[in-house]
Amino acid sequence: MKIGLTGGIASGKSLASTYLYEKGYPIIDADKIARQVVEPGTPALEAIRNTFGKAVVHEDGQLNRKALGSIVFASEEKRQQLNKIVHPAVRKQMLKEADTFERNGHTLIIFDIPLLVESHLFHLVDQVWVVYVDEETQLTRLMQRDQSTKDEALQRIRAQIPLEQKVQYADQVIKNTGTKQETYDQIDAILQTVTTT
């Protein structure tokens, strides 16, 4: 069974992901793969260079994220172009990793995908688990974590689909508003239901 684990900024998705990993479940991390698929020598990096020009690649062949960022954040069209290059490469690698885990006998695989809902990647997984906190908790945690102002933190939260909306797509909701142990207990309870059916 493939589980899509998602949440929002400062919702505690990493906490849930780390706990599942420590319990021995394989984690396929979309963010990590997104960095891997644009490493020097990859077809995706080559496509990015061809699309956005030499300025987006450093002398040493590494992606110049800052230069690329300033291009794609200024234009929705350019951002779409970038997504068309990176997203398929990420999906392909995720499925390849899942296949390897399955062949090695794993029956439950966790896809850690921050933008699962935004990118409509439901077809990759059998169930969606959303790590949820209310906006007030999210705001407090983000300000503490990043030492950011309330306005900065709100801007980052509002740049994502609200967690209330993400919950509508969830097969399982992990409420991360209490203690870590309470969150772990919920995960254990959910694991019981999915591994015994």
What's 10's DSSP letter? T
- When pLDDT is cut at 50, 70 and 90, the band that residue 74 belongs to is confident
Q: What average pLDDT does this structure show over 129-154?
A: 93
Q: Which helix (H) or strand (E) holds 173?
A: strand 172-175
Average pLDDT, the chain: 94
Residue with tokens 């885990």: 101
The fraction of the chain above a pLDDT of 70, given in percent, is 99
pLDDT tens for 39-73 read 999 999 999 999 999 999 999 999 999 999 899 88
Q: Is the dihedral of CA 153, 20, 129, 93 positive or negative?
A: positive
Residue ranges of the annotated binding site for ATP are 10-15
- Where do the domains of the chain lie, and which CATH numbers do they carry? 2-26+106-196 (3.40.50.300)
pLDDT tens for 144-174 read 999 989 998 998 888 889 999 999 999 999 9
For residue 38, the SS3 value is: coil
CA 166 to CA 188: how far, in whole Å? Answer: 21
Q: Which helix (H) or strand (E) holds 96?
A: helix 76-103
CA 113 to CA 106: how far, in whole Å? Answer: 19
CA 7 to CA 164: how far, in whole Å? Answer: 10
Say which amino acid occupies 13. K
CA 183 to CA 197: how far, in whole Å? Answer: 22
Q: Does residue 196 have a pLDDT over 80? A: no
Return the pLDDT at 78: 94
Q: What average pLDDT does this structure show over 101-124?
A: 94
Q: Does residue 7 have a pLDDT over 80? A: yes
Taking the model in full, what pTM does it have?
0.88
CA 70 to CA 53: how far, in whole Å? Answer: 13
Q: What average pLDDT does this structure show over 110-117?
A: 94
CA 59 to CA 49: how far, in whole Å? Answer: 12
2, 129 contact by CB (below 8 A): no
Return the pLDDT at 197: 58
Q: Does residue 10 have a pLDDT over 80? A: yes
The rounded radius of gyration (Å) of the Cα atoms in the chain is: 18
Residue ranges of the annotated binding site are 10-15
